[in-house]
Amino acid sequence: MNPKNWSRRQLLRGSGVALALPWLETFAPRTASAQAGAARKRFVSLYFPNGAAEYWHPTGSGTGDSWTLSPILEPAAPIKPYMTVLQNVGYPTGLRLCNPNHSQLCAGLWTCVQPDFNPAVARNGTSVDQLIAQAIGGGSSIPSLQVGCSTMNSYADTHHPANSRSISWASPTEPLYKIVNPQAVFDRLVAGGANMPPSNMNMTPDPAAVRRRALRTSALDYVLENATGLQPKLGASDRHRVDQFLSSVRDLEKRVQDPGMQIVGSSCTPRTRPPEAYAVNSVPATYNREVHVNIMTDLAVMALQCDVTRVVSYMLDDARSDFAYIFLKGRTFTATGSTPSGVNVTNGNISSGLAGYHGLQHAGDTNNDFATINYWLVQKASEFAQKLAASPEGAAGSVLDNTVIVFGSGMHGGNHRGIDIPFTLIGSGGGVLKKNFFASGPGDGYYVADIHLTIMQKVFGMNVTSFGPSTTILPDILA
């Protein structure tokens, strides 16, 4: 009998609490089954805001040495062998045509529908990472992880702020808010089974741990029953809120019963709890965005290495970021490369009344500070991918080999348009996608929705026939 087919309620109510305990233990070690079968595949949505400056697009075309990274993409050189860069990528629908703005092109990049205009209502679509998580997330302890590095709330373009601050949407009305606090991410991953030293992986049950799990299960059982009982007394919209509550409680219940004991290969590297505890509008005077991104990247890498989750969404910054990247050393860009300018990046553009990164975007695509921030973001994406490439996974290669990272921004650049957006794929998803490839979409360009659909169907084997406006895959990116 497969214990996975036993629900907790069957155990507690059918067999009685006392009998349930031995069964609960058998839930714990699922290492063997998780290790068996095909290589684990992962999906990462890695977002940066405000589009890209001039000198983003590579030159040449095709695979291998027939194309060359651009000045802004230069920091991606170490991961070029894993990378596909696509030019002339955009949206076919309202996102392309409605003079779209930051927030809609942030949320819309991952759902390919146009989010609602109403600033008080979060309504978008279900995002690609969540569809993938629904398909594969059950194999890991956390179905998906949302992290980000913005510690300030930038202007939300008169729309619901979730469009600017969330790239994961579990349903059209459920943005999954990211965690920006490195300590909170760490705690979540550790609770999910990361960092467990090998000595704790033996099959001998610890009686205290078994009892603790039973108590937690019992508490959650009560919480579910209580909320379910309340539901009929509520109006329609509040009943929906209770549904959201119940589904979140059930997610935890699954983890409590089955606390992800499997550790993937040798690359799952335990680490200590980071000292950084940041929150929005609550950072120390010594706050440094580079430190923040570095620690968050390490945590995301740990999550994927240790198979705590297989789906990560990661916002390097929020849409329309007003953050001042004044800590960055400026660079001067030409068509052939860039050199240090000797002064730091400035804070925005007074003539437009716009601060920070966003202000620099609106200083135009030829603005060196705009390009410098892009360059740094590419460097951070590159470092993330390099760490996954350095995480071996036995015969299956590296974690990066089995991952697809969609790294890009929702809009083109200074012109705000949903046409020719910076868009790259890193990792081939187990050899399904091309590697070391650059191409430019013909005519109206490649559609984001087609690319997401291709990834879902071909990399993750999902039975989806449409996504947003798309019903066709994009064969150009397939190996």
Rounded Cα–Cα distance for residues 166 and 177 (Å): 6
Compute the least distance from the CB of residue 4 to other proteins, in Å. Answer: 20
What type of residue sits at position 27?
F
Nearer to other proteins, 76 or 142 (CB): 142
Q: Does 209 bind other proteins (CB under 8 A)?
A: no
Compute the least distance from the CB of residue 217 to other proteins, in Å. Answer: 10
Q: Does 190 bind other proteins (CB under 8 A)?
A: no
Compute the least distance from the CB of residue 132 to other proteins, in Å. Answer: 16
Q: Does 415 bind other proteins (CB under 8 A)?
A: yes
Q: Does 234 bind other proteins (CB under 8 A)?
A: yes
Nearer to other proteins, 121 or 478 (CB): 121
Compute the least distance from the CB of residue 352 to other proteins, in Å. Answer: 4
User: Using CB under 8 A, which residues numbered 269 to 308 contact other proteins?
Assistant: 277, 279-283, 285
Compute the least distance from the CB of residue 259 to other proteins, in Å. Answer: 12
> How is residue 139 annotated by DSSP?
G
Which residue in the set 40, 42, 80, 188 belongs to the binding site for other proteins (CB under 8 A)? Answer: 188
CA distances, 451 to each of 84, 166, 310, 472 (Å)? 12, 20, 19, 9
Rounded Cα–Cα distance for residues 455 and 88 (Å): 18
Q: Which residue has the tokens 């060359």?
A: 68
Compute the least distance from the CB of residue 293 to other proteins, in Å. Answer: 16
Q: Beta strand pairing status for 59-60 and 67-68?
A: antiparallel
Backbone torsions φ then ψ of 174, nearest 5 degrees: -125, 85
Q: Residues 144-183: x/- map of binding to other proteins (CB under 8 A)? A: -xx----xxx-xxxxxxxx-------x--xxxxxxxxx-x
Q: Does 309 bind other proteins (CB under 8 A)?
A: no
Q: Does 143 bind other proteins (CB under 8 A)?
A: yes
Query: Total binding residues for other proteins by CB under 8 A?
Result: 108
Nearer to other proteins, 412 or 452 (CB): 412
- Residue 23 in contact with residue 3, Cβ under 8 Å? yes
Compute the least distance from the CB of residue 273 to other proteins, in Å. Answer: 12
Nearer to other proteins, 32 or 236 (CB): 236
Q: Smallest Cα–Cα separation from 468: which of 169, 215, 205?
A: 169
Half-sphere exposure of 193 toward its Cβ, with a 13 Å CA cutoff? 25
Which residues, at least 6 apart from 310, have a Cβ–Cβ distance to it below 8 Å?
40, 41, 42, 43, 133, 136, 137, 139, 140, 144, 304
Which residue in the set 352, 465, 471, 472 belongs to the binding site for other proteins (CB under 8 A)? Answer: 352
- Residue 444 in contact with residue 469, Cβ under 8 Å? no
Choose one: 1-9, 238-246, 390-398, 428-436; the region binding other proteins (CB under 8 A).
238-246
Judging by beta carbons within 10 Å of its beta carbon (0-12, 13-18, 19+), is residue 29 exposed, middle or buried? middle
Structure tokens at 377: 């973001």
Rounded Cα–Cα distance for residues 70 and 77 (Å): 10
Q: Beta strand pairing status for 423-426 and 83-87?
A: antiparallel
Which residue in the set 45, 124, 368, 391 belongs to the binding site for other proteins (CB under 8 A)? Answer: 368
User: Using CB under 8 A, which residues numbered 418 to 437 contact other proteins?
Assistant: none
Which residue in the set 10, 59, 118, 334 belongs to the binding site for other proteins (CB under 8 A)? Answer: 118
Rounded Cα–Cα distance for residues 7 and 451 (Å): 38
- Residue 153 in contact with residue 161, Cβ under 8 Å? yes
Half-sphere exposure of 410 toward its Cβ, with a 13 Å CA cutoff? 33
Q: Does 315 bind other proteins (CB under 8 A)?
A: no
User: Using CB under 8 A, which residues numbered 1 to 20 contact other proteins?
Assistant: 17-18
Which residue in the set 39, 201, 291, 326 belongs to the binding site for other proteins (CB under 8 A)? Answer: 326
Q: Does 90 bind other proteins (CB under 8 A)?
A: no
Q: Does 94 bind other proteins (CB under 8 A)?
A: yes
Q: Beta strand pairing status for 329-334 and 59-60?
A: unpaired
Q: Residues 42-81: x/- map of binding to other proteins (CB under 8 A)? A: ----------------------------------------
Which residue in the set 86, 107, 214, 311 belongs to the binding site for other proteins (CB under 8 A)? Answer: 214
